[in-house]
Amino acid sequence: MPRKRVRSNPPWSWQFLDYIWDDLLIVGGPKMMPILSNPRRNPVVHDYGEGYWGVAMPCVDRKWTLKLTTDRSEAHFVALLHGLGLASQVQGLVRTTDAFNTERKVPRNSVNVPVYLYWREAVEFMGDEAWAYMKAHAPEHRFVHARNVIIDALNRARIDGATLDDAAAGIAKLTGAKLTRVAGAELRALSDDGILVTDVNLNNWGILPRAPDQLTMVDPGLVRYSEAAKALSRQHPPRSLREAAQTLARA
């Protein structure tokens, strides 16, 4: 069993939590809060480290993880699945709560970008650790096949100039391997409706306690939409965290 690595988040995430902490507590409740690593320096918290688009943090209820993301498309995708009633039903994609717009920004590449958040079910292993787990527990040919179809899907979906049809053909490749078949079928069904999750790179797959024998898509980012799907997404945008907290505080 591979040992989980410990990484540190950049200071921006700790400082950012200071701004939203009270609203986060109202909306999520005590069990959905990040775990404090030093109560005297609230809210410096335990974390899983920083990815390119955001930060993931374990919650007091270990069944959940808090995700801060600067990928607008990821947040809108999570909100759309929630609005359509699919967020708690998917099998090959990570299950989530609704997504929230913090209405605050952080600097990224000399540009201030908005930050969104949502809670997702906790992942046992992620990225390299997930692949190490699969290499140890799955037949070698299935492990190799899954890596190959993911790389192929990513190349087809993310290549410069790829059309929506090109990206959809890449996503469909994921149905060809046993370890990614469940996620691939769901992503393909979404792509048939004009919703394409293109960031299917190897680091965005994980092992969940509910599905230890398959790879689950954990960070569904860089989502592209057909015009019809864009219109549908606009009907289910991420909610305002502040407004959600104010509504609950008045109830």
User: Are 74 and 87 part of one and the same domain?
Assistant: yes
CATH code where residue 100 lies: 3.30.200
The answer as to whether 3 is a domain residue is no
* Structural domains in the chain (count): 2
List pLDDT tens digits, range 228-250. 999 999 999 999 999 999 999 99
86-97 residue pLDDT tens? 999 999 999 999
Residues 213, 144 within the same domain: yes
Average pLDDT over residues 216-228: 95
Residue 225, token pair as written in the block = 């939409």
Mean per-residue pLDDT of the chain: 90
User: Three-state SS for 104?
Assistant: strand
- pLDDT of 51: 65
153 confidence band (pLDDT: 50, 70, 90): very high
Is a pLDDT exceeding 60 seen at residue 98?
yes
Rounded to whole angstroms, how far apart are CA atoms 207 and 138? 12
Find the mean pLDDT for residues 181-205: 96
pLDDT for 11 equals: 60
Q: Both 187 and 110 in a single domain?
A: no
| Coil, strand or helix at 112 | strand
State the pLDDT at residue 7. Answer: 44
The one-letter code for the residue type at 26 is I
Residue 46 banded pLDDT, cuts 50, 70, 90: confident
- 111, 197: one domain: no
Spatial strand order in the sheet of 205-208: 125-126, 205-208, 211-217
Cα 3 to Cα 202: distance, rounded to the nearest angstrom: 19
Beta-carbon count within 10 A of 57 CB: 22
Q: How large is the average pLDDT for residues 122-142?
A: 94
pTM (whole model) above 0.85? yes
CB 92 within 8 A of CB 187: yes
Query: Does residue 1 sit within a domain?
Result: no
**pLDDT-based confidence at 146, cuts 50/70/90?**
very high
Q: Looking at the structure, do residues 137 and 216 belong to the same domain, yes or no?
A: yes
> Which residue range(s) make up the domain with 191?
126-233
